[in-house]
Copies of this chain bind each other. A is one copy, B any other.
């Protein structure tokens, strides 16, 4: 029998969060080679022999942009046979979350540039292949997942104030949240631990918190329901 085979690619939508001003960003690279040379695209590349999709995503992310994400998961697989002009390329898309401040992206082999781009800007941009569609799916997933999973913390520095956290949620969800109620709700979850240090800014000093992974694991074991 004559069975068609496909090239496998792992692409990664990397989200980052910049607190000042509050901005949700994605990592875009400028393609050095054809097809779509010079166009903006997500980092990604071929899956190698003996490698599964997630391993390929991590490797590509490190090679192309020097990034080792705190969070990475498979998003969706894009299989339109015409999505790549060269022939059948199946893209197994991933979502990754990083602390923007930790990585100033470095352009790797296939990229002439790598930049953090405001998500709203990226949505208006013409992207290579079907990457615009991939971005839409990734955003939907992020907005959904952030509501019942504590993945937001992977976008913040280890220590953060409640204002940081609230700004993050407001940015992702695209709506303002009541500061007072947000504080009570989040603290009531018992997933934050105070850090013995204050944030000194332009205003009244604020308590610094860290995400309490241990408390979270305990809560998960007890059949637990995270909600914003």
| A-to-B contact residues, CB < 8 Å | 3-8, 46-54, 74, 76-77, 79-81, 88, 90, 92
Contacts and interface: CB of A to CB of B under 8 A. Distances in A.
B79 A92 contact: yes
Contacts of A48: 4
Contacts of A47: 4, 6, 79
Specify how many copies of this chain sit in the oligomer. Answer: 2
A3 B45 CA distance: 11
A81 B92 CA distance: 14
A147 to B, nearest CB: 10
A90 B90 CA distance: 10
Query: A3, A77, A92: which has the most chain B beta carbons within 10 Å?
Result: A77
Contact of A81 (B7, B50, B80): B50
A54 B79 CA distance: 9
17 contacts: A3-B46, A4-B7, A4-B46, A4-B48, A5-B5, A5-B6, A5-B8, A6-B6, A49-B88, A51-B81, A52-B79, A52-B80, A52-B81, A54-B79, A74-B77, A77-B92, A79-B92
A77 to B, nearest CB: 4
A94 B77 CA distance: 11
